[in-house]
Structure formats: structure tokens, C-alpha cells
Structure 1
Amino acid sequence: MYPHKTPLLSVSLKIEGDRLQKYLANNLGVLEAKEIAAKYSTEAMARSFFGINAHCFDDENAMFRVLGRKIFDFSVRNGLVNTAYFSMQKLVRLFRINIFEKWVFEYFIDSFTKAFEARENSTTRKNDFIDILIELNKKDGGNGLFDMDKINGTGLQFFVAGFETTSSTISYTLHELCLNKTVQNKVRQEILANMKENDGLTYEGVMGMKYLDMCVKETLRKYPAVPFLDRKCVNECKLPGTDLILEKGASVYIPLVGLHYDEKYFPEPDKYDPERFANPKCNSEGLVYLPFGEGPRMCIGERLGMLTTKLGIISVLTKFEVERCAQTPDPVIFEAKSLVLQSTVGLPMTFKYITPPPA
């Protein structure tokens, strides 16, 4: 699918883009976009980080997909634990409360450990996250900076953070495109023209798709992966223009939804308008657009997340149209008890081949 002049990324993303297209071709009609995007992002993260085939497109109950649901779908257990992690950290430390269910944690760690050890003892190299960790482990020279517990924890953190944010951004973008066919047609024309100009999909080509980038940024404005950021105040400070003093060690919660829907910075905030990001200086009046955070604690996987997201959208739009159906929510009502922005009824829409199909 992706002939290219400059390597697009690892082979893993190309494989999963092809598999996404094949899955959609075999399941046209009304589909839940979040579930489709979650299959793709879970596969992409599993391959990119661990070199593992997660089998999400082959099995509706593939274990890595089950793990994803257990981690992010709402349950009484998840609700209580998430509340404790944000507001009762001393209790969490005292009782050593794991944010994941024990069997979820153990299954993931076992899978990752086996994959890491198998790669470490072979000459196979896939240029993925495991290969990077192996090289770092060798350079460390056995000083303990990269013991297996830290390696496992890092792998789990990257996987969990990557697959949910990517699937959320892809599915909400498709949702807005199915409601705004003019925008959908415009971004598809850009994709097809870019691929024709570059004789296929290239890294330079993806980076040059300005309107696609604007669409993804607008999606992240309306639907940030998490509704707020949490930080800890490392030094006592006074908020400018107020008498409020933040004490050292105080927890600070930054409401992304509140900032991203502020009419002062984003006129008609409920409107999906990619053109508002035609001007790259969207934070010229202060930090009001923060889908990946900012500063030294900003998301370390921003570039990989954006690239994986764009490739997922490209894989859909090059061959398929998305249209609203009777079940498509408009507007989206968010699940109040979820830690991430999830629709109460999902994001169902109709997938069909482009008419006429691309040459």
C-alpha cells in the first residue's frame, strides 16, 4: 500500500494500515468507529513497541484488546482506584493499590518479558521499542538503570498511553468528518493529491498534509484524550493577577475542556472548524491549547502518536467514506464516570467504499 521514497516509519505501521483497510473492506456498513480505531491502535502499539501481533483484527476477543477494555472501560473498581490515585495518594502507597487489575498487569508483564527476552537472545532486529531498550540496557553496563522491573513498567506505560489516545483521536476525527462531508472531501482530496504527487505515501508527504494536520488538531481541541492534566507544584508561587498562593507540593489540575471551549480563544467552540488552526500560533495569548501538555512533562510520544493517528485516518479515507447513520450521536454526550472522554453510546457510523472509487 505504501511505496515511499523516504522510509515512512517502521514496517509495523504500514502492516497495520493495510490490515485496517482489509478489515473495513470485509465489514462495510454501520460500525463502531471507536472499536475499529482501538483495534488499529492496539495493533500498532503492540507491533511498534514490542514486535507482537495482537490479532485484534482476527479475533474480537483478542487478549490485548480485552486488556485495553479492562484498563479504560468504566467499572466500579476502576472508578474507585482512579479517584484514589488523584486524591488519596497516601492511601494508595499505604495499601500498594495497583491502578490495573492484578491479572491484567501480570498478563501484560508476562507477554512483554517473554518478548524482550526472546529478542535479547536472538539476532532479529525490528527497529522497535524493544530494540531501543536492549541497546540502552547494553550501554548501561549493568548499573541497574534498566532492570527488568523498570523495563516492564516503561513498556506498560508506553502501551497504555499510546493506544487509547490514538484510538480516541482517530475515532473522534472520523465522527466529525461523517458529520461534515465538505471537510471530509477536502481532506481526502489533499491525501490523494499528496500521494499522487509523491508516487505513494512518504514521510515527507504525511508531514506536508497541512489540512489533515489542522483536522487532527481541531479534533484534539474538541476531544482532548483526557479532560484535565494533573501536575504538582514544585515551588511556592503566586498566581499572577490574584492573591492565590500555590504551596509547594500542592496538586494542580488544569481543565483542558474548559480551556479548549473558551470562546475568548476559540470562537464558536462547539463548531468543528479546522481552519482555526491555519494560524500555527494558537497559543500566542498564553497556554490555552494543551492536548499533549507543555514543558518538560509534556507527552513524550506526541510525534509517534500524531503520525500513527494520521496514518490511521489516511488508511480509512483513501478507500472509504464515512457517513452518519441513525445511531450517530450529535452532539456527543460524554460518560461522566470515565477518566477519558468517552461517548455514552459509542461512535457508530456507516463505512462504505468511495463513490466513485479512487483510481
Structure 2
Amino acid sequence: MWLLIPILFYSVIFLYIRHIYTYWKRKGFPTERTGLNWQFLKQVYRREFHYVDAINEAYKAGGERPLYGVYFFFRPTLLVRDVALARTILEIPHGHFDDKRWHYMQGYRKINLLEKLASIFSVPRVEGMFRNVEKVADHMVKQMNALTLGSEQLDMQIVMRTYVINVFANLLYGLDTNLFEPNDSVFKRYILSTLRNRGINSYTFNHLPKKSSLTYRLRDIIKDSVGRREDGGIIRKDIMQLLVKFRNGNNLTNNGKLSWHVENVFEREKLLSIKKLSKIAERFLNIGYESTASAATLTLYEILQAPSIYKKVIEEIRQLSVATKNADNADNRLTYADIDSLQYLGACIKETVRKYPSVPYIERVCGKNFPIPNSRATINEGRTVMIPVMAMQRDERHFKDPDYYRPERFYNVKSGPELDNFMGYGLGASVCVARNFAILVTKLALVKLLQHFDMEYTPTEDIQIVHNPAPVIICKGGFKIRLKTYKNNTLL
């Protein structure tokens, strides 16, 4: 009698698991062959299992099918393998595949915060932030100038991450700080935290714990910065200033006039609490820091490996330096328009984002039943849909020689299949609203470095690039380069 209880218990578990792993077969979708093996379990136990690699393998296994049913642990997921269908899914209105992480209740109405905050990163607003970003880039150059005296190699991945986190500390959190100098900043701890957790993040995609000491310290910084702007009347051209304007219900565009002044209102009339504003800032930090640092690092990595590309980039920057020197500009300083004019460097960044997308996949939960176009099938409410961005951008059906780094794909190209298939900055409602800001931060870092230093990269060991969640370079020695300053401390 007692033997029947464990038999019944394990039978119920077996039937439940079997029911889950036959979901797509029962719904009539093509699906992978399921099963557990010891090799997979050992990879998970040793933290050697990489979520992104598993997605890429599942994409390849789908053959020519536009949709392919897979299972990630106990979660049935529908893999979208067709670019046009992916675009339809992400751009369709009426709440079928909304990103609910940005939903916010304002009174009795639900709004999408990301749509409301998109104007923060418009070109005129980003142009207004240019000098603050340039100030951080100058700190980086000054620090590297001092280090080149010792002729030592520098790990550029650490340099770029420090630069990008410094930009976010200055513009997102409103701190006038220089992280290239010795100090006990919470943002330096943030860099170490993200690097230390890379093994776990390779398959869990978690960032800061919700109740970590770093989170509380970041919220204290937000509270102090908001108070200085609302009560002290401080005006600073940065992201924090615009978040405070939004918190007070101010118009971020001001009918075409880019005012940075905050019209303070009573606490009960504010749209966001300090806690909610802190969460938004943390989300921008978590998303933007990793992706921007990776784009800057990997663009430099690819440029230095290809002499022909390096030569073209240097020549474009040299021409810009000549034009800036001959312009009617008393201090010969770069402008936002100068950086924006670097089309070949922009193509390099775009090719980096294609080959190493900071968001390797886009995942959505179906909000209500969605009939698939030109098909009798339906995606049911509650099912997970995944757009494997990285796998699609490395598919030879969409990009010629996808494993090769070719900026010419996007240089002086206004139309074409490769441009249409590019999803590096997202699609539809998932498009990155801060892409103008991220491109500026990346471009300015590369321009400042290549203007002041002759760089030499000679890899002595195999380089591995993995997602954790954004792509990072993994090797014992890091991404180290040798620097030499130009004779006049400039490219000219």
C-alpha cells in the first residue's frame, strides 16, 4: 500500500512534465526533440551553460521554418525566425506583445513610461548634453596620457567600462565626478559587481539585487540630486534634469523650445515618487551601461584587428581634426555636429551592434490571442515569444558573410536587404529610445582615443566573447593594448 504513494507521486510529476514538453506538438507547431541529458545538467551545475548560445543553436535547428517551438527549462517558447514576422509582432498595436516592464498607472489610466521619456534622448536634447559627455572623455584621455609614460599595456575593456559608467554617473545621477581618479565611488563598486557576476548572468540575466547596498546608495544619490534641482534651483543639462522635469509634469519639449528649467509643483501633484524615479534611473543604468560599454569596447577591438578599417577610421578623424582647426572656432573644440558627421565610424559602430548585439534576443509574453498572418495558427495568451536578434543577424540568409566584420554594409547605404534586416537597436515598440545618446558616447570615446594615441593590439591568446548579458571579452589578460602618444599629443 505504502509503495503506491511514491509511485503515484512520481507518475503525476512525469505526466505533468510530459504535458509541458509536448505543448507545441499538441498545438501543431514544428518543435525540437525534447529530452534531458547528463551533459546539459553538468553544464548548468558548473555554470557553463550559456543561454544565448542555446538560443542560437535552437535557431539553427529550426531550418527554414518561420516559427519553431522550443523549451527553456519548463517554459514553452515560440522562436520567431522570420524578420518580417518579427517586425509585425513587435510593431502590432492593441496590446498583443507590450513590454509591461515600463507600464505605469497614472490615476485611472495606464501609460507606457518609455514612450513618455523617449523625448529625453531626442537629437536636440542629446546635443545639449554634449559638453558633459566630452568632459568625461577628456578625463579618460588625461588619465591614459599619464599611464603611457610607463609604456605599460592597458586593459581597454576596463577603461571603456569606467568611461561609460562615469558618463552615467554624471548625466543620469547628476554627479560631477571623475572615476579615473582614486576614490571610493559607488559606481566603481558597480563595475566590479557586474564583472564579478558574469558567470551567473550568462544564463540568468539578473542585474543588481533589488535590496542590495548598491541599490540603496544609488537611491540616496537620486534623492539628493532631485532635491538640489527642485529646492535649490540648480539647472544642469543632463538626463537627471529631464527626469525631474517629467516628475513635476513639465513639458519636455516646451513646444519646440528646449528649456532645462524645472517648474516645481506640490508633492501631491508630482507624477513620480523618488522611489519610482530611482527605479527608472536604475533601469536606464542596467540597460545602457552594459550595452554602451560593450559597443565601444568591441568596436575598438574590431578596428584594431583590421589595418584597412583602422586606416579609414584614422583618416576620417584626421580630416575632422583639420576641419575643426580651420573652422571659425576660437578653441578648436569638437561639436555634436562634428561627431555626427563621422559616417564611416558610425558604420563601424552599427556593424559592431549587428555582430555583437547588446540585446541578443527580445522576449515578449502574448497579452491576448494573436492570429499569425497568412496562417491558421494562433499564439495563445500567456505564451512566450522570442525574437533571436543575434542569431538572425548572423544568418547568411539576411547578411552576406555574417561572421566577417564589414562596416561597408552600412556605409553610404540608404536602402537594401541588409539595412532592412538590421535589428541591432530593436524593432517597433522595442527600439532603443536612447540610441542617439549611446552612439554619441561611443563615438566620442573612440574619437578622443584615436586623436591622441597610436594604438597597437597584438593578441597573445585566444579571445572569447560571451554575453553576460551584453557581450564582453573573456581572456586571462583582458583586452590589452599598447599606447603611444603622438608627437604633438594629437593626430595632426
Q: How would you bin the TM-score normalised by the shorter chain?
A: 0.7 to 0.9
Deviates more, 1:286-295 or 1:167-176: 286-295
Give, as a single letter, the amino acid of the residue that structure 2 aligns with 1:348.
K
1:107-256 correspondence to structure 2 within 5 Å: 107-139=217-249, 141=265, 142-198=268-324, 199=327, 200=332, 201-240=334-373, 245-256=378-389
Shift in Å, 1:38: 0.7
User: Aligned residues, how many?
Assistant: 338
Q: Which has the larger radius of gyration?
A: 2
Q: Can you list the C-alpha shifts for 1:60-107, whole angstroms capped at 9, x where unaligned?
A: 864202113314542676568637x9xxxxxxxxxxxx7445212112
What CA deviation, in whole Å up to 9, does each residue of 1:164-211 have, x standing for no partner?
A: 211111110111111112211211211221232243422222222110
Per the alignment, do residues 280 and 249 of structure 1 end up closer, same or farther by CA in structure 2, a change over 3 Å counting?
A: farther
Matched, 1:16 2:124: no
3-state secondary structure, aligned to 2:154: strand
Give the aligned partner of residue 190 of structure 2: 67
Which structure carries more relative contact order (alpha carbon 8 Å, separation 6+)? 1
Q: Spell out, residue by residue over 1:282-339, the C-alpha distance to the aligned partner (whole angstroms, 9 max, x if none).
A: 674796322221112321211111111111111111111222224464xx42347x22
Task: Return the alpha-carbon distance in structure 1 between the equivalents of residues 491 and 153 of structure 2.
Answer: 22
1:32 maps to 2:155: yes
Which residue does 2:491 correspond to in 1?
358
Inter-partner Cα distance in structure 2 for 1:328 and 1:315: 28
CA drift at 1:113:
1.5
Alignment of 1:341-352 (within 5 A): 341-345=471-475, 346-352=478-484
Q: TM-score under structure 1 normalisation? A: 0.84
Query: How far apart are 1:40 and its partner, in Å?
Result: 0.7
Select which of 254, 258, 272 maps to 2:405: 272
Are the structure 2 counterparts of residues 235 and 188 from structure 1 closer, same or farther at C-alpha, using a change threshold of 3 Å? farther
The structure-2 alpha-carbon separation of the partners of 1:246 and 1:355, relative to structure 1 and needing over 3 Å to count, comes to: farther
Unaligned stretches of 5+ in structure 2?
Answer: 1-125, 251-264
2: distance between equivalents of 1:334 and 1:242?
38
Give the match's secondary structure for 1:230: strand
C-alpha distance in structure 2 between counterparts of 1:207 and 1:10, whole Å: 11
The secondary structure found in structure 1 opposite 2:364 is strand
Give how far 1:131 is off: 1.7
Q: Does 1:46 align with 2:177?
A: no
- Contact kept in structure 1, 2:157 and 2:473, CA below 8 Å: no
Match of 1:293 in 2: 426
Residues 109 and 80 (structure 1 numbering): CA distance in 2 closer, same or farther, change over 3 Å?
Answer: farther
> How high is the sequence identity, in percent, across the aligned residues?
22
Q: Which amino acid aligns with 1:27?
A: L
| CA distance, structure 1, for counterparts of residue 240 and residue 470 of structure 2 | 28
How many angstroms does 1:31 deviate by? 1.4
Moved more, 320-329 or 162-171: 320-329
